[in-house]
Amino acid sequence: DIGRGKRLAPLVARQLVAAEAAAVGVATSAPLAVTGTEGMVLEFAGCCRPVPGDPIQGKLSSGRGIVIHRRECPHGRPRGKDSRDNVDVVWAEEVAGEYTAEVVIRCSNRRGMLGAVATALAEAESNVERVNIYDRSGEITEFQVQCTARNRSHLARALRGLRRLPDVVRVERGPLARLSGASQQLA
């Protein structure tokens, strides 16, 4: 499997060390800390867009390395009885940089609303990377915004700023809301 590219050698080594330690009665190794590549290829899933602070799960993907999903993401869950492709991962203590998050905003369909959303995100020190606009029944518009966040609390602060805008009906973290049909909101 390692030779065919189905499994990563460092992960197999971690699993073997953990299995031997468990057989001897020694505590098993800690989950892999997500700080950078650490010799392995890491990719952050576009389906759920995890940011530091989110509970996460790694999934081994052929040709992509370890794909990091939010724990509640249906695409990151083990399929069937075989959970060999899942990797225990946690965020490192200090994670730097900005990560892309997705936010879904339902608001009144009025002039200047997109500008108000962009301003609220800029005031929260978040950068807008992409916006999709969906018209809902003429009176309500839905914005799907990809913005940057340093961590979960930074994203929560940005969402609170969006919720304070007049004419905003609902703000939620996406796209899990679409994947699972459930609302994923941060306080």
Which DSSP string corresponds to 34-77? ESS-TTS-EEE-TTT---TTS-EEEEEETTTEEEEEETT-GGGS
Predicted local confidence at residue 77, as pLDDT: 79
Nearest to 98 by CA among 64, 56, 129: 129
Q: Has residue 119 got a pLDDT over 90?
A: yes
Q: Model-level pTM?
A: 0.73
| Lowest-confidence region among 54-58, 126-130, 145-149 | 54-58
Cross-strand bridge partners of residue 105: 143, 171
Cβ pair 104, 142 in contact under 8 A: yes
Tokens of 173: 């973290």
Instruction: Give residue 143's Cα distance to chain centre.
Output: 19
**CA-to-CA distance for 150 and 153, rounded, in angstroms?**
8
Nearest to 151 by CA among 113, 125, 170: 125
Residue identified by tokens 């966040």 is 149
Q: Has residue 129 got a pLDDT over 70?
A: yes
Tokens of 47: 């389906």
Instruction: Give residue 115's Cα distance to chain centre.
Output: 26
